[in-house]
Protein backbone atom coordinates (compact mmCIF):
# COMPACT_ATOMS: atom_id res chain seq x y z
CA UNK A 1 0.00 0.00 0.00
CA UNK A 2 1.46 3.40 -0.98
CA UNK A 3 0.11 6.55 0.65
CA UNK A 4 0.96 10.15 -0.20
CA UNK A 5 -0.56 13.31 1.23
CA UNK A 6 -1.04 16.21 -1.19
CA UNK A 7 -1.37 19.56 0.56
CA UNK A 8 -2.88 22.06 -1.85
CA UNK A 9 -5.27 24.78 -2.77
CA UNK A 10 -7.98 22.77 -4.57
CA UNK A 11 -10.71 23.92 -6.94
CA UNK A 12 -13.32 21.52 -8.30
CA UNK A 13 -17.04 21.30 -9.12
CA UNK A 14 -18.45 18.11 -7.62
CA UNK A 15 -22.09 18.82 -8.54
CA UNK A 16 -23.53 20.15 -11.77
CA UNK A 17 -23.52 23.99 -11.86
CA UNK A 18 -26.17 23.93 -14.62
CA UNK A 19 -28.56 22.65 -11.96
CA UNK A 20 -27.35 24.63 -8.96
CA UNK A 21 -23.96 23.10 -8.13
CA UNK A 22 -21.25 25.44 -6.89
CA UNK A 23 -17.53 25.83 -7.25
CA UNK A 24 -15.80 24.14 -4.30
CA UNK A 25 -12.68 25.92 -3.15
CA UNK A 26 -10.38 24.84 -0.34
CA UNK A 27 -7.48 27.19 0.34
CA UNK A 28 -5.42 24.62 2.22
CA UNK A 29 -6.58 21.04 2.23
CA UNK A 30 -4.83 17.69 2.52
CA UNK A 31 -5.76 14.90 0.15
CA UNK A 32 -4.62 11.50 1.35
CA UNK A 33 -4.06 9.24 -1.65
CA UNK A 34 -3.64 5.51 -1.20
CA UNK A 35 -2.80 3.40 -4.23
CA UNK A 36 -4.21 6.06 -6.54
CA UNK A 37 -7.49 6.65 -4.71
CA UNK A 38 -8.34 9.65 -2.50
CA UNK A 39 -8.93 8.07 0.90
CA UNK A 40 -9.18 11.27 2.91
CA UNK A 41 -9.85 14.98 2.43
CA UNK A 42 -9.42 17.32 5.38
CA UNK A 43 -6.83 19.17 7.42
CA UNK A 44 -3.15 18.28 7.27
CA UNK A 45 -3.25 17.40 10.97
CA UNK A 46 -6.04 14.85 10.36
CA UNK A 47 -4.22 13.45 7.35
CA UNK A 48 -1.01 13.02 9.37
CA UNK A 49 -2.86 11.17 12.11
CA UNK A 50 -4.39 8.85 9.52
CA UNK A 51 -1.12 8.24 7.68
CA UNK A 52 1.83 9.14 9.91
CA UNK A 53 4.40 7.54 7.58
CA UNK A 54 3.12 9.16 4.39
CA UNK A 55 5.18 11.63 2.39
CA UNK A 56 3.58 15.12 2.28
CA UNK A 57 3.83 16.98 -1.02
CA UNK A 58 3.19 20.69 -0.64
CA UNK A 59 1.53 22.05 -3.77
CA UNK A 60 0.36 25.38 -2.37
CA UNK A 61 2.54 27.31 -4.80
CA UNK A 62 -0.05 26.49 -7.46
CA UNK A 63 -3.67 25.35 -7.73
CA UNK A 64 -4.75 21.72 -7.88
CA UNK A 65 -7.58 20.92 -10.31
CA UNK A 66 -9.18 17.62 -11.37
CA UNK A 67 -7.61 16.11 -14.49
CA UNK A 68 -9.30 17.25 -17.68
CA UNK A 69 -11.49 14.95 -19.79
CA UNK A 70 -11.37 15.43 -23.57
CA UNK A 71 -14.35 13.71 -25.21
CA UNK A 72 -13.27 14.23 -28.83
CA UNK A 73 -9.70 14.28 -30.14
CA UNK A 74 -8.34 12.63 -33.32
CA UNK A 75 -5.21 10.50 -33.00
CA UNK A 76 -4.07 10.74 -36.65
CA UNK A 77 -4.56 14.50 -36.89
CA UNK A 78 -1.86 15.81 -34.54
CA UNK A 79 0.23 16.99 -37.49
CA UNK A 80 -2.85 18.40 -39.27
CA UNK A 81 -3.28 21.10 -36.61
CA UNK A 82 -3.22 24.56 -38.15
CA UNK A 83 -5.04 23.93 -41.44
CA UNK A 84 -6.86 27.23 -41.28
CA UNK A 85 -9.22 28.87 -43.74
CA UNK A 86 -11.37 25.97 -44.97
CA UNK A 87 -14.82 24.65 -44.19
CA UNK A 88 -15.16 21.05 -42.97
CA UNK A 89 -15.43 19.09 -46.23
CA UNK A 90 -12.55 20.94 -47.93
CA UNK A 91 -10.45 20.64 -44.78
CA UNK A 92 -11.03 16.89 -44.68
CA UNK A 93 -9.95 16.51 -48.33
CA UNK A 94 -6.99 18.83 -48.17
CA UNK A 95 -5.64 18.47 -44.63
CA UNK A 96 -7.00 15.63 -42.56
CA UNK A 97 -7.39 12.67 -44.94
CA UNK A 98 -3.95 12.97 -46.64
CA UNK A 99 -2.39 12.99 -43.18
CA UNK A 100 -4.51 10.02 -42.08
CA UNK A 101 -3.21 7.97 -45.03
CA UNK A 102 0.29 8.16 -43.51
CA UNK A 103 -0.89 6.09 -40.57
CA UNK A 104 -0.52 2.95 -42.70
CA UNK A 105 3.18 3.18 -41.80
CA UNK A 106 3.53 1.71 -38.31
CA UNK A 107 6.65 3.77 -37.53
CA UNK A 108 4.88 6.97 -38.44
CA UNK A 109 1.79 5.90 -36.48
CA UNK A 110 3.96 5.24 -33.42
CA UNK A 111 5.49 8.69 -33.54
CA UNK A 112 2.08 10.33 -33.88
CA UNK A 113 0.68 8.20 -31.03
CA UNK A 114 3.48 9.45 -28.78
CA UNK A 115 2.86 13.04 -29.90
CA UNK A 116 -0.84 12.74 -29.14
CA UNK A 117 -0.40 11.18 -25.70
CA UNK A 118 2.29 13.70 -24.73
CA UNK A 119 0.09 16.54 -26.02
CA UNK A 120 -2.81 15.37 -23.89
CA UNK A 121 -0.75 14.97 -20.72
CA UNK A 122 1.09 18.25 -21.21
CA UNK A 123 -2.26 20.02 -21.46
CA UNK A 124 -3.53 18.43 -18.24
CA UNK A 125 -5.83 15.93 -19.94
CA UNK A 126 -5.88 12.67 -18.00
CA UNK A 127 -8.83 10.99 -19.74
CA UNK A 128 -9.81 11.06 -23.42
CA UNK A 129 -12.20 9.58 -25.94
CA UNK A 130 -9.87 9.34 -28.91
CA UNK A 131 -11.13 9.14 -32.48
CA UNK A 132 -8.82 6.54 -33.98
CA UNK A 133 -7.18 5.79 -37.32
CA UNK A 134 -8.61 3.91 -40.31
CA UNK A 135 -5.83 1.28 -40.13
CA UNK A 136 -6.07 -1.55 -37.59
CA UNK A 137 -2.25 -1.71 -37.48
CA UNK A 138 -2.15 1.95 -36.38
CA UNK A 139 -4.70 1.18 -33.67
CA UNK A 140 -2.54 -1.63 -32.28
CA UNK A 141 0.35 0.82 -32.15
CA UNK A 142 -1.84 3.42 -30.48
CA UNK A 143 -3.38 1.14 -27.85
CA UNK A 144 0.08 -0.15 -26.90
CA UNK A 145 1.37 3.41 -26.48
CA UNK A 146 -1.77 4.47 -24.58
CA UNK A 147 -1.46 1.52 -22.22
CA UNK A 148 2.17 2.44 -21.57
CA UNK A 149 1.24 6.06 -20.88
CA UNK A 150 -1.16 5.28 -18.04
CA UNK A 151 -3.74 7.76 -19.36
CA UNK A 152 -7.43 6.73 -19.33
CA UNK A 153 -8.13 6.19 -23.00
CA UNK A 154 -11.25 5.04 -24.86
CA UNK A 155 -10.69 4.66 -28.62
CA UNK A 156 -11.51 2.58 -31.66
CA UNK A 157 -10.80 1.86 -35.30
CA UNK A 158 -12.40 4.51 -37.53
CA UNK A 159 -14.42 3.07 -40.39
CA UNK A 160 -15.82 4.47 -43.63
CA UNK A 161 -16.77 2.77 -46.90
CA UNK A 162 -17.46 5.67 -49.24
CA UNK A 163 -16.56 9.25 -50.16
CA UNK A 164 -13.23 9.38 -48.34
CA UNK A 165 -10.13 8.06 -50.14
CA UNK A 166 -9.92 4.52 -51.53
CA UNK A 167 -6.93 3.82 -49.30
CA UNK A 168 -9.03 4.58 -46.20
CA UNK A 169 -12.14 2.60 -47.16
CA UNK A 170 -13.13 -0.65 -45.52
CA UNK A 171 -16.01 -3.12 -45.95
CA UNK A 172 -18.69 -4.10 -43.43
CA UNK A 173 -17.09 -7.56 -43.05
CA UNK A 174 -13.61 -6.17 -42.47
CA UNK A 175 -14.95 -3.55 -40.03
CA UNK A 176 -16.65 -6.29 -38.05
CA UNK A 177 -13.68 -8.63 -37.90
CA UNK A 178 -11.03 -5.97 -37.26
CA UNK A 179 -13.10 -4.40 -34.46
CA UNK A 180 -13.65 -7.86 -32.96
CA UNK A 181 -9.93 -8.54 -32.88
CA UNK A 182 -9.07 -5.10 -31.45
CA UNK A 183 -11.72 -5.46 -28.73
CA UNK A 184 -10.41 -8.88 -27.84
CA UNK A 185 -6.85 -7.57 -27.60
CA UNK A 186 -7.31 -4.18 -25.95
CA UNK A 187 -10.74 -3.55 -24.43
CA UNK A 188 -10.63 -3.58 -20.64
CA UNK A 189 -6.84 -3.84 -20.51
CA UNK A 190 -5.56 -1.40 -17.85
CA UNK A 191 -7.34 1.90 -18.42
CA UNK A 192 -8.20 1.18 -22.07
CA UNK A 193 -11.67 0.73 -23.50
CA UNK A 194 -13.02 0.36 -27.03
CA UNK A 195 -15.32 2.74 -28.91
CA UNK A 196 -17.07 1.73 -32.14
CA UNK A 197 -16.27 4.62 -34.50
CA UNK A 198 -17.85 5.16 -37.92
CA UNK A 199 -16.32 8.41 -39.18
CA UNK A 200 -19.71 10.01 -39.99
CA UNK A 201 -22.80 8.96 -41.90
CA UNK A 202 -21.58 10.81 -44.97
CA UNK A 203 -18.81 8.20 -45.33
CA UNK A 204 -20.81 5.16 -44.15
CA UNK A 205 -23.35 3.03 -46.00
CA UNK A 206 -26.24 1.51 -44.09
CA UNK A 207 -24.46 -1.84 -44.36
CA UNK A 208 -21.40 -0.43 -42.61
CA UNK A 209 -23.50 1.20 -39.89
CA UNK A 210 -25.26 -2.15 -39.39
CA UNK A 211 -21.84 -3.80 -38.91
CA UNK A 212 -20.96 -1.09 -36.37
CA UNK A 213 -24.21 -1.79 -34.53
CA UNK A 214 -23.41 -5.49 -34.48
CA UNK A 215 -20.08 -4.73 -32.82
CA UNK A 216 -21.56 -2.15 -30.45
CA UNK A 217 -24.21 -4.56 -29.18
CA UNK A 218 -21.80 -7.50 -28.97
CA UNK A 219 -20.96 -6.46 -25.38
CA UNK A 220 -22.57 -4.14 -22.86
CA UNK A 221 -19.49 -2.12 -22.03
CA UNK A 222 -18.42 -0.70 -25.39
CA UNK A 223 -18.69 2.94 -26.43
CA UNK A 224 -19.96 4.48 -29.65
CA UNK A 225 -18.70 7.73 -31.13
CA UNK A 226 -19.08 9.65 -34.38
CA UNK A 227 -19.82 13.13 -35.77
CA UNK A 228 -23.19 14.79 -36.28
CA UNK A 229 -24.58 18.09 -37.60
CA UNK A 230 -21.24 19.86 -37.72
CA UNK A 231 -21.50 21.84 -40.95
CA UNK A 232 -24.46 22.79 -43.15
CA UNK A 233 -22.97 21.34 -46.38
CA UNK A 234 -22.34 18.06 -44.50
CA UNK A 235 -25.91 18.01 -43.16
CA UNK A 236 -27.32 18.53 -46.69
CA UNK A 237 -25.11 15.78 -48.14
CA UNK A 238 -26.22 13.33 -45.44
CA UNK A 239 -29.90 14.15 -46.14
CA UNK A 240 -29.33 13.28 -49.82
CA UNK A 241 -27.49 10.06 -49.03
CA UNK A 242 -30.18 8.88 -46.56
CA UNK A 243 -33.48 9.96 -48.15
CA UNK A 244 -35.46 7.71 -45.80
CA UNK A 245 -33.90 9.06 -42.60
CA UNK A 246 -35.92 11.61 -40.62
CA UNK A 247 -32.77 13.63 -39.96
CA UNK A 248 -29.01 13.19 -39.52
CA UNK A 249 -29.30 11.68 -36.01
CA UNK A 250 -31.77 9.13 -37.37
CA UNK A 251 -29.04 7.63 -39.59
CA UNK A 252 -27.43 6.35 -36.36
CA UNK A 253 -30.64 5.87 -34.40
CA UNK A 254 -32.23 3.47 -36.92
CA UNK A 255 -29.26 1.12 -36.29
CA UNK A 256 -29.57 1.28 -32.51
CA UNK A 257 -26.38 3.24 -32.06
CA UNK A 258 -27.73 5.81 -29.57
CA UNK A 259 -27.67 5.51 -25.79
CA UNK A 260 -25.87 6.66 -22.66
CA UNK A 261 -22.62 5.16 -23.99
CA UNK A 262 -22.79 7.19 -27.21
CA UNK A 263 -20.85 10.42 -27.73
CA UNK A 264 -21.54 12.53 -30.83
CA UNK A 265 -19.22 15.38 -31.73
CA UNK A 266 -20.31 18.92 -32.68
CA UNK A 267 -24.11 19.03 -33.17
CA UNK A 268 -23.95 22.68 -34.17
CA UNK A 269 -27.01 22.46 -36.47
CA UNK A 270 -29.58 20.13 -34.84
CA UNK A 271 -33.32 20.27 -35.45
CA UNK A 272 -35.61 20.12 -32.39
CA UNK A 273 -36.55 16.48 -33.02
CA UNK A 274 -32.88 15.49 -32.88
CA UNK A 275 -32.35 17.29 -29.57
CA UNK A 276 -35.46 15.67 -28.13
CA UNK A 277 -34.22 12.24 -29.21
CA UNK A 278 -30.76 12.89 -27.81
CA UNK A 279 -32.25 13.83 -24.46
CA UNK A 280 -34.47 10.74 -24.53
CA UNK A 281 -31.67 8.30 -25.38
CA UNK A 282 -29.05 9.81 -23.04
CA UNK A 283 -26.51 10.54 -25.78
CA UNK A 284 -23.72 12.99 -24.89
CA UNK A 285 -22.56 15.74 -27.19
CA UNK A 286 -18.86 16.60 -27.42
CA UNK A 287 -18.85 20.36 -27.88
CA UNK A 288 -15.69 21.40 -29.75
CA UNK A 289 -15.70 25.20 -29.76
CA UNK A 290 -12.20 25.90 -31.17
CA UNK A 291 -12.84 23.58 -34.08
CA UNK A 292 -16.30 25.05 -34.66
CA UNK A 293 -14.73 28.50 -34.86
CA UNK A 294 -11.68 27.46 -36.88
CA UNK A 295 -13.64 25.54 -39.55
CA UNK A 296 -16.41 28.15 -39.50
CA UNK A 297 -18.92 25.47 -38.52
CA UNK A 298 -21.01 27.82 -36.38
CA UNK A 299 -21.86 28.77 -32.81
CA UNK A 300 -22.96 25.85 -30.65
CA UNK A 301 -26.63 26.10 -29.52
CA UNK A 302 -25.94 25.23 -25.88
CA UNK A 303 -29.24 26.67 -24.61
CA UNK A 304 -31.24 24.33 -26.86
CA UNK A 305 -29.19 21.36 -25.66
CA UNK A 306 -29.75 22.22 -22.00
CA UNK A 307 -33.46 22.82 -22.57
CA UNK A 308 -33.77 19.39 -24.20
CA UNK A 309 -31.83 17.73 -21.35
CA UNK A 310 -28.91 16.78 -23.60
CA UNK A 311 -25.66 16.09 -21.81
CA UNK A 312 -22.80 18.30 -23.07
CA UNK A 313 -19.04 17.85 -22.51
CA UNK A 314 -15.95 19.34 -24.17
CA UNK A 315 -13.68 18.15 -26.95
CA UNK A 316 -10.52 19.63 -28.44
CA UNK A 317 -11.21 18.05 -31.86
CA UNK A 318 -7.51 18.14 -32.74
CA UNK A 319 -6.69 18.63 -35.67
CA UNK A 320 -9.83 20.61 -36.64
CA UNK A 321 -9.30 22.15 -33.22
CA UNK A 322 -6.16 24.13 -32.60
CA UNK A 323 -4.51 22.35 -29.68
CA UNK A 324 -5.03 20.00 -26.74
CA UNK A 325 -5.83 22.48 -23.99
CA UNK A 326 -9.27 22.07 -22.42
CA UNK A 327 -8.58 25.34 -20.63
CA UNK A 328 -8.64 26.95 -24.07
CA UNK A 329 -11.75 24.96 -25.06
CA UNK A 330 -13.48 26.23 -21.93
CA UNK A 331 -12.66 29.81 -22.88
CA UNK A 332 -13.79 29.22 -26.46
CA UNK A 333 -17.05 27.70 -25.19
CA UNK A 334 -17.55 30.86 -23.16
CA UNK A 335 -16.83 33.06 -26.22
CA UNK A 336 -19.27 31.11 -28.40
CA UNK A 337 -22.09 31.62 -25.89
CA UNK A 338 -21.22 35.30 -25.55
CA UNK A 339 -21.57 35.63 -29.33
CA UNK A 340 -25.04 34.03 -29.53
CA UNK A 341 -28.16 36.08 -28.83
CA UNK A 342 -29.55 33.14 -26.80
CA UNK A 343 -26.14 32.22 -25.36
CA UNK A 344 -25.84 30.58 -21.96
CA UNK A 345 -23.86 32.88 -19.64
CA UNK A 346 -21.06 30.55 -18.60
CA UNK A 347 -19.38 31.23 -15.24
CA UNK A 348 -15.92 29.81 -14.40
CA UNK A 349 -17.51 26.87 -12.55
CA UNK A 350 -19.44 25.92 -15.70
CA UNK A 351 -16.18 25.89 -17.65
CA UNK A 352 -14.43 23.68 -15.09
CA UNK A 353 -17.45 21.38 -14.93
CA UNK A 354 -17.49 21.06 -18.75
CA UNK A 355 -13.76 20.26 -18.78
CA UNK A 356 -13.95 17.65 -15.99
CA UNK A 357 -17.10 16.04 -14.53
CA UNK A 358 -19.18 16.52 -17.69
CA UNK A 359 -16.63 14.54 -19.69
CA UNK A 360 -16.33 11.88 -17.01
CA UNK A 361 -20.13 11.48 -17.07
CA UNK A 362 -20.16 11.23 -20.88
CA UNK A 363 -17.61 8.42 -20.63
CA UNK A 364 -19.31 6.66 -17.72
CA UNK A 365 -16.27 7.17 -15.49
CA UNK A 366 -17.76 7.89 -12.07
CA UNK A 367 -14.38 7.74 -10.35
CA UNK A 368 -12.92 10.83 -12.05
CA UNK A 369 -13.87 14.50 -12.53
CA UNK A 370 -13.54 15.90 -9.02
CA UNK A 371 -11.30 15.44 -6.02
CA UNK A 372 -13.61 14.05 -3.33
CA UNK A 373 -12.88 11.14 -1.04
CA UNK A 374 -13.39 7.88 -2.89
CA UNK A 375 -12.39 9.29 -6.27
CA UNK A 376 -9.28 8.41 -8.25
CA UNK A 377 -6.48 10.92 -7.83
CA UNK A 378 -6.50 12.23 -11.42
CA UNK A 379 -5.25 15.78 -11.03
CA UNK A 380 -3.51 18.73 -12.64
CA UNK A 381 -1.17 21.05 -10.79
CA UNK A 382 -1.63 24.44 -12.39
CA UNK A 383 1.37 26.57 -11.57
CA UNK A 384 2.27 29.45 -13.91
CA UNK A 385 5.93 30.20 -14.41
CA UNK A 386 7.40 32.82 -12.14
CA UNK A 387 7.31 36.23 -13.75
CA UNK A 388 4.60 35.22 -16.26
CA UNK A 389 1.46 37.29 -16.79
CA UNK A 390 -0.61 34.35 -15.57
CA UNK A 391 1.30 34.24 -12.29
CA UNK A 392 0.93 37.98 -11.69
CA UNK A 393 -2.75 38.02 -12.58
CA UNK A 394 -3.55 34.91 -10.55
CA UNK A 395 -1.81 36.38 -7.50
CA UNK A 396 -4.23 39.31 -7.65
CA UNK A 397 -7.37 37.14 -7.78
CA UNK A 398 -10.09 38.46 -5.50
CA UNK A 399 -11.87 35.14 -4.95
CA UNK A 400 -11.78 31.49 -5.92
CA UNK A 401 -14.18 32.16 -8.81
CA UNK A 402 -11.97 35.01 -9.96
CA UNK A 403 -8.89 32.77 -9.79
CA UNK A 404 -10.66 30.16 -11.90
CA UNK A 405 -11.75 32.80 -14.42
CA UNK A 406 -8.12 33.93 -14.66
CA UNK A 407 -6.97 30.35 -15.21
CA UNK A 408 -9.43 30.01 -18.11
CA UNK A 409 -8.51 33.43 -19.52
CA UNK A 410 -4.74 32.95 -19.46
CA UNK A 411 -3.88 29.30 -18.82
CA UNK A 412 -1.91 27.26 -21.34
CA UNK A 413 -0.13 23.89 -21.27
CA UNK A 414 3.01 25.78 -20.20
CA UNK A 415 1.28 26.35 -16.84
CA UNK A 416 0.61 22.66 -16.26
CA UNK A 417 3.41 21.74 -13.90
CA UNK A 418 2.40 18.19 -13.01
CA UNK A 419 -0.28 15.65 -13.85
CA UNK A 420 -1.35 12.47 -12.04
CA UNK A 421 -3.57 9.61 -13.20
CA UNK A 422 -4.61 7.34 -10.33
CA UNK A 423 -1.77 8.89 -8.34
CA UNK A 424 0.90 8.19 -10.97
CA UNK A 425 2.64 10.58 -13.35
CA UNK A 426 1.84 9.61 -16.95
CA UNK A 427 4.72 7.75 -18.56
CA UNK A 428 5.66 9.41 -21.81
CA UNK A 429 8.15 8.46 -24.44
CA UNK A 430 8.16 12.16 -25.33
CA UNK A 431 8.82 15.01 -22.90
CA UNK A 432 6.53 14.49 -19.88
CA UNK A 433 4.99 17.35 -17.95
CA UNK A 434 7.03 17.19 -14.80
CA UNK A 435 8.13 19.47 -12.09
CA UNK A 436 8.94 18.22 -8.64
CA UNK A 437 6.64 19.47 -5.94
CA UNK A 438 8.23 22.48 -4.40
CA UNK A 439 7.56 23.24 -0.75
CA UNK A 440 8.27 26.93 -1.44
N1 LIG B 1 -16.38 14.79 -39.70
C2 LIG B 1 -15.90 13.65 -40.23
N3 LIG B 1 -14.58 13.53 -40.02
C4 LIG B 1 -14.22 14.61 -39.32
C5 LIG B 1 -12.98 15.06 -38.79
O6 LIG B 1 -11.93 14.44 -38.92
N7 LIG B 1 -12.99 16.24 -38.12
C8 LIG B 1 -14.12 16.96 -37.95
N9 LIG B 1 -14.06 18.09 -37.28
N10 LIG B 1 -15.29 16.57 -38.44
C11 LIG B 1 -15.33 15.40 -39.12
ZN1 LIG C 1 -13.86 15.25 -35.00
- The H or E element that residue 50 is part of is helix 44-50
Indicate whether 12 pLDDT > 70.
yes
Task: Point out the ligand nearest to the CA of residue 199.
Answer: 1
Asked whether residue 115 falls in the same domain as residue 236, the answer is yes
- Tens digit of pLDDT for each residue in 26-59? 999 999 999 999 999 999 999 999 999 999 999 9
Task: Tell me how far apart the alpha carbons of residues 279 and 282 are, in angstroms, rounded to a whole number.
Answer: 5
Indicate whether 100 pLDDT > 60.
yes
Q: 131 CB contacts (<8 Å, ≥6 apart)?
A: 72, 73, 74, 75, 155, 158, 197, 225, 265
- Number of residues written out for the chain: 440
Q: Establish whether residue 88 lines the binding site of ligand 1, counting it when its CB lies within 6 angstroms of any ligand atom.
A: yes
Asked whether residue 273 falls in the same domain as residue 343, the answer is yes
404 alpha carbon – ligand 1 mean position (Å): 31
Asked whether residue 413 falls in the same domain as residue 329, the answer is no
- Tens digit of pLDDT for each residue in 359-385? 999 999 999 999 999 999 999 999 999
Which residue from 417, 418, 435 is spatially nearest to 426, judged by alpha carbons?
A: 418
340 alpha carbon – ligand 1 mean position (Å): 23
Q: Looking at the 3D structure of the chain, how many domains does it have? A: 2
Asked whether residue 213 falls in the same domain as residue 311, the answer is yes
Mean pLDDT value of segment 137-161: 98
Asked whether residue 354 falls in the same domain as residue 337, the answer is yes
pLDDT band at 199 (very low <50, low <70, confident <90, very high): very high
CATH of the domain at 231: 3.20.20.140
- Of 339, 362, 385, the residue at which a domain comes to its end is 362
356 alpha carbon – ligand 1 mean position (Å): 23
Task: Tell me how far apart the alpha carbons of residues 362 and 313 are, in angstroms, rounded to a whole number.
Answer: 7
Asked whether residue 127 falls in the same domain as residue 77, the answer is yes
pLDDT band at 429 (very low <50, low <70, confident <90, very high): confident
DSSP per position, 98-156: HHHHGGGSHHHHHHHHHHHHHHHHHTTEEEEEEE--S-HHHHHHHHHHHHHHT-EEEEE
Q: How many CB atoms lie within 10 A of CB 296?
A: 12
Asked whether residue 152 falls in the same domain as residue 168, the answer is yes
- Tens digit of pLDDT for each residue in 254-312? 999 999 999 999 999 999 999 999 999 999 999 999 999 999 999 999 999 999 999 99
Please provide the average confidence, as pLDDT, over all residues in the chain.
97
Q: In the chain, what percentage of residues exceed pLDDT 90?
A: 97
Mutation pick for ligand 1 pocket among 199, 285, 296 (CB with most ligand atoms within 8 Å): 199
Asked whether residue 115 falls in the same domain as residue 45, the answer is no
pLDDT score, position 430: 67
pLDDT band at 434 (very low <50, low <70, confident <90, very high): low
Indicate whether 439 pLDDT > 50.
no
| Residue ID of nearest Cα to ligand 1 atom 9 | 320
Q: 19 CB contacts (<8 Å, ≥6 apart)?
A: none
Q: Establish whether residue 183 lines the binding site of ligand 1, counting it when its CB lies within 6 angstroms of any ligand atom.
A: no
pLDDT score, position 237: 98
Mean pLDDT value of segment 64-69: 99
Q: Which atom of ligand 1 is nearest to the CA of 234?
A: 1
Mean pLDDT value of segment 103-126: 98
Burial, 234: exposed, middle or buried (Cβ in 10 Å; 0-12, 13-18, 19+)? Answer: buried
Give the residue numbers spanning the domain of 400: 3-66+369-437
104 alpha carbon – ligand 2 mean position (Å): 20
Ion ligand 2 nearby residues (CB, 5 A): 265, 317
What does each C-alpha distance from 169 to 101, 123, 208, 248, 404 come to in angstroms? 11, 33, 11, 21, 45
Q: Establish whether residue 100 lines the binding site of ligand 1, counting it when its CB lies within 6 angstroms of any ligand atom.
A: no
- Of 337, 362, 387, the residue at which a domain comes to its end is 362
- Of 304, 332, 362, the residue at which a domain comes to its end is 362
pLDDT score, position 431: 55
Which residue from 323, 421, 333 is spatially nearest to 380, judged by alpha carbons?
A: 421
pTM (whole model) above 0.75: yes
pLDDT score, position 361: 98
pLDDT score, position 267: 99
Asked whether residue 171 falls in the same domain as residue 298, the answer is yes
| Residue ID of nearest Cα to ligand 1 atom 8 | 320
Asked whether residue 221 falls in the same domain as residue 99, the answer is yes
CATH of the domain at 426: 2.30.40.10
pLDDT score, position 254: 98
Q: List the Cα angle 107/108/112 in 5-degree steps.
A: 120
Asked whether residue 90 falls in the same domain as residue 178, the answer is yes
235 alpha carbon – ligand 2 mean position (Å): 15
- Tens digit of pLDDT for each residue in 221-261? 999 999 999 999 999 999 999 999 999 999 999 999 999 99
b/e 236-250 (16+ beta carbons within 10 angstroms → b): ebbeebbeebebbbb
In the three-class reduction of DSSP (H, G, I as helix; E, B as strand; rest coil), residue 176 is classed as helix
299 alpha carbon – ligand 2 mean position (Å): 16
Q: Establish whether residue 362 lines the binding site of ligand 1, counting it when its CB lies within 6 angstroms of any ligand atom.
A: no
Asked whether residue 72 falls in the same domain as residue 62, the answer is no
Amino acid sequence: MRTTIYRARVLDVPSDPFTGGQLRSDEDVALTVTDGTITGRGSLAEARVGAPEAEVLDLRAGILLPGFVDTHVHYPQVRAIGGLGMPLLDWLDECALPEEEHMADAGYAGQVADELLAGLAQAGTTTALVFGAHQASAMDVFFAAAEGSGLRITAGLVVGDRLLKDTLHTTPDAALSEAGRLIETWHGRGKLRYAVTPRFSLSATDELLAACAQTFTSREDLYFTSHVNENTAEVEAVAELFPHAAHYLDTYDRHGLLGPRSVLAHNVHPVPAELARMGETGVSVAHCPSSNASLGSGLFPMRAHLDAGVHVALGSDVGGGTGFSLIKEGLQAYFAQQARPDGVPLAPEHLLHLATVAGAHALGLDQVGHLSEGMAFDAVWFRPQEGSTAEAVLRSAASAGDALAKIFALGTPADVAQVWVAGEAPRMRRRPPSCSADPG
